[in-house]
Amino acid sequence: MSFEDRFQRVMDLSRVLKRHRQTLVDLAVQDLRFTVSDCRVEADLTVERLKMYEEARMLLQDRVPLGGPKSRVSLMLSYNGSAWINNAITSIYMVGNRVSVKFSSKGKDVMDLTEQMYRPLFGDAITFYRGSGRSFIEESLKDPEVSTVVVFGFDENIMPYQEAFKKTGKKLVFEGPGQDPFIVFPDADPELALGDLMQAKFMYSGQTCTAPKRIFIHSTIYQQFLEEFIARVKRLVVGDPWDLHTNISPVASDLAVQRIKLQLQDAVQKGAEIAVGGTIEGNLIHPTIVKNATDDMLGMQEEVFGPVAFTTPFTTTEEVLARALNHKY
C-alpha cells in the first residue's frame, strides 16, 4: 500500500473519530473515570493532531519499516488512554508497518469502539489483541513477523523481558514511569507558571506520565508561590467524573492509590507537611500539596500517578539541576 493510501485512511479516521466523539468520551468516562471535560479536550485534540499529518507528509512519505515491508509492530498501551492512542497507532502505521494493539483491560469498551472504527478503514493492517499483557509480549517475541514491541507501562512488568529481546534481536521501545520536575525561578511570571502547573499537574487527575510531580520553587518566592498554589488547589472540584464542573475524579489504578498512600506516609514521617488535601476515600484522592519535601522521600524518587504534588525550595540553578536529575527513574 502506498503512503498516499495510508495517509487517506488516517484522514478518514479523523473524520470517523469526530463523528463518534461523544460515544468515545462517554466510554472513556465510564471505563477510566476521567472527567468528562478532560475526555472532551483529549478527543478534540486527537482529531486536530491527526490532521497535522498533512504538515508532516514530506517527512514521512519516503520512510520504510525498519523490520521490512511485511513487519508488524506490537503496541501495548497504558490504561490512561482513550482518544490519544489513535496518534500512537497511526504514527506506527503511517510509515508502513502493520500494527497489533493491546489495550489495558481497564479500557475494554474503548477498545471495542476503536476496533469498530478501524476495521472498515484498515482491515488486518491494524488488529486488536484481547489476551493478557504477558501473553501479548511473549507471543510478540515468538512471532517472526513482529520486528518491534512498543510498550507503555511500569519497569517491573517490562524489564524482566530485556534479555529475551536481546536474544531475539527484536527492538523494545519502552515508555516507562515519569518523575518530571517543574522548576520555578525567581524571575518567572507567577501567573503563567501557576496556570501551566495547574493544568499539567491535575489534568486526568494527575494520571499522565508527563505530569509534573516534583515542584522546585526558588527559596525567595517559595512561600508566596506556594500560598497561591494552595489557594488554586482548594478551588478544584472533586467528585463525579460525569459532572462538567469536576476537576478531580477517582484514580483508575488501585496500585497507583496504594503507592500514593505510601508516598504520603513516608513524606510525613520524614518531616514534610501536607499543606492541603491528603484525604483518600477509596480511589478518590483529593488534590494534595506536600510542603518542604526532601530528595530522600518516596514521592521525590518515584512516579506519583495521581493528583499529588511534592514541593521543595531551592537556592541556585546548579543545585536545582543536580537535584532534578538525581531521581530513581
Catalytic residues: 175, 209
Angle at 148 between CA 147 and CA 153, to 5 degrees: 160
Three cell numbers at 11? 484522514
Query: ∠ at Cα 23 (203, 105), nearest 5°?
Result: 70
Query: Of 75, 65, 135, whose CA–CA distance to 103 is shortest?
Result: 75
98-102 and 72-76: which strand pairing?
Answer: parallel
Q: Residue 5 in contact with residue 89, Cβ under 8 Å?
A: no
**Residue 122 backbone phi and psi in degrees, to 5:** -115, -10
> Exposure string (b/e) for 70-105, b if CB count within 10 Å is 16 or more?
ebbbbbbbbbbbbbebbebbbbbbbbbbbbbbbbbe
**Minimal CA–CA distance to 171: which of 241, 82, 92?**
92
User: Which triple of cell numbers denotes residue 225?
Assistant: 508561590
Name the residue among 130, 139, 86 with its Cα closest to residue 108. Answer: 130
